[in-house]
Structure 1
């Protein structure tokens, strides 16, 4: 991995997301959680936006009950297996976009500097390390607005090599796609393509100004139209409200992802969001559970920021709806060691397996 990797940020005081409505009483919370249980486990249907909104407003004392329901929903809709994935920043830094959370943007003065595309041997070494952990997926990530022709050709060269050498499904994250690029990646054997919505459309202009929400939505549509699974996630803690998180959940539901990486902001020095407060652990558990309850069939993946946000509650997150995780380092931040995560799964008696889109 790049020598630009930075440790997670610690010590910032957390603050809860603002909401336009008051919280539920304990009795109202019990009623709402019970209604969610009936809908998802007995009636086997998706929750309405109003039902999700009610659950988002249960008091802190009810979060454990919310998390327990989310775990039962995960088991009922997805099974007991956990998917393990490794990611590789194959082209780090120098991105022209101004995503305010990202230290890879060339528009901000951050410690992350631009590096060229890694050579094939470096990519294969990372893929083999990932396979040795029991992972089934390897994601090649590039800090670009979208792939130019040379970059696209490199990706298309690497995908079959990684699949043959490491025996892994290959996912790619390379920004905004054209119709022709999506077609070629699908035909070239890319299993999943990652393109996060990140936040609600109503909050997006506060986070990114160099491309539009519609461009992101269009890339998501092209991924599915060209036979790839869609990996489309969220980044919580950027200053969005509870209402906007629910808006994001409904948007994610509309693009029909197979996988949803759930990231929590780890404020990076030099970025416009570098002074944001981190999400507190119990709030993170609440939203892990809500993502599972709103999106019961998806692969819900622990992603960036979980160490600084959840701290000692990472195992609790695994019993609050998570059924996949990235192991090792992230793009520009250091994660826990893979051994720690694998031990956590062993302690929880959660089997590692390969997941695909749930039916």
Structure 2
């Protein structure tokens, strides 16, 4: 066999290799992988995981920059939700240990101040509801105004399914980003939620985007979906062209239908991070709930060097996060600069 034949054979194999395809298509061209290509990445063996994460990091650096965006979140209304999202201990339909509670506006302002002190540039107000009633929406509008008058931080919101009027009011109030997760792939959604549809969630996101607010939309991995559905989910998200995708990993909550599910293996979680970065090269990918349980400290560092470029600091809605100081220390160790307020990707 001649050298030319050998070189040709190597070249043909490289063309078929998914990471070689991704390097050309995503890193060089800025075009995300399609569903079949994303699935091929999710099927990569463990021994190729370092190569995948290295490429995902290169993609992140090229198309999003080196800075990491930090966000704090707080629950305006906790517990008592009428929906049956099977992963969520805030549902009033399950025997879960979350009690219903409301925060007043001074408490929200103080929480925003404390969040800003960590270096975070984003503060998200969340409520456990199907959608906001007038009391909740009015309080949210007042809270946004109060925070903006005292704290130099962007305010985001996540209060469920919206009508067009509610979307317009939040946009007018100054909410710059709205979070409403699709949760999982369209084909798997009925196994996760039965009290509303995937399409209803997508319609809210469409209105949010048309109103000029940024779209924050992600979901939870490790809820029993197949790799095919995980790849489908990445494409569902890509079709929305969101500003941000929060990546949560299931932290099984007592009293919920998913209470006995196993925690997602760290290798699978890291593979998913790399795959989602290659499917969404120009999107903010944010570490969210479950990263501590699923990945631990070392895995979190690998994720930040494997495609992630944003994190939630402090606690989540119903689960504990890491102390903020530890995340800041990790950022310093990895020499990752924190994104400055109002800077753009």
Asked if the contact 1:99/1:207 (under 8 Å) is kept, the reply is yes
Structure 1: distance between partners of 2:321 and 2:279? 27
**Structure 1 residue 140 and structure 2 residue 121: aligned?**
no
Counterpart in 2 of 1:184?
A: 169
One of 258, 267, 278 as aligned partner of 1:293: 278
Residues 90 and 142 in structure 1, CA contact (< 8 A), matched pair in contact too? yes
Partner residue in 2 for 1:254 = 239
C-alpha distance after superposition, 1:163-195 (max 9, x if no partner): 221111000000000011001111110010000
Q: Equivalent residue for 1:240?
A: 225
Q: Aligned Cα RMSD in Å?
A: 1.6
In the alignment, what sits opposite 2:70?
84
Task: Measure the CA separation in 2 of the matches of 1:287 and 1:181.
Answer: 34
From 124, 128, 140, give the equivalent of 1:155: 140
Partner of residue 35, structure 2: 49
> What's 2:94 paired with?
108
Secondary structure at the aligned position of 1:139 is classed as: strand
Residues 30-77 of structure 1: per-residue CA shift (max 9 Å, x gap): 821111101112233222322222222111110111111000000000
Identify the match of residue 24 of structure 2 among 28, 32, 38: 38
Q: What CA distance in whole angstroms lies between the structure 1 residues aligned with 2:234 and 2:340?
A: 25
Does the 8 A contact of 1:193 with 1:231 survive in 2?
yes
Contact 1:258–1:358 (CA under 8 A) maintained in structure 2: no
Shift of 1:358: 6.7
CA positional deviation for 1:28: 7.5
Structure 1: gaps (5+ residues): 1-26
The aligned residue for residue 10 of structure 1 is none
CA distance in 1, matches of 2:77, 2:267: 35
Counterpart position of 1:120: 105
- In the alignment, structure 2 segments of 5+ residues that lack a partner are 1-12
Check conservation: 2:243, 2:283, Cα contact below 8 A.
yes
Tell me the secondary structure at the aligned position of residue 340 of structure 1: helix
Matched, 1:273 2:261: no
Counterpart contact for 2:30–2:281, Cα < 8 Å = no
Task: Determine the C-alpha separation between the residues in 1 that align with 2:190 and 2:104.
Answer: 36
Cα distance in structure 1, aligned partners of 2:152 and 2:311: 19
Residue pair 1:258, 1:357 contacting (<8 A) in 2 also: no
Q: Deviations over 1:274-306 (max 9, x none)?
A: 000011111111001111110011110000000
TM score, norm. by length of structure 1: 0.90
Give 1:354 shift: 4.0
**Counterpart Cα distance in 1 of 2:23 and 2:137:** 45
> Larger % of helix: which?
2
Contact 2:168 2:211 in 1 (8 A): yes
Q: Distance in 2 between matches of 1:184 and 1:60?
A: 48
2:27 and 2:300 map into 1 onto residues whose CA distance is: 25
- Please say which of residues 42-51 and 184-193 is displaced more in the overlay: 42-51
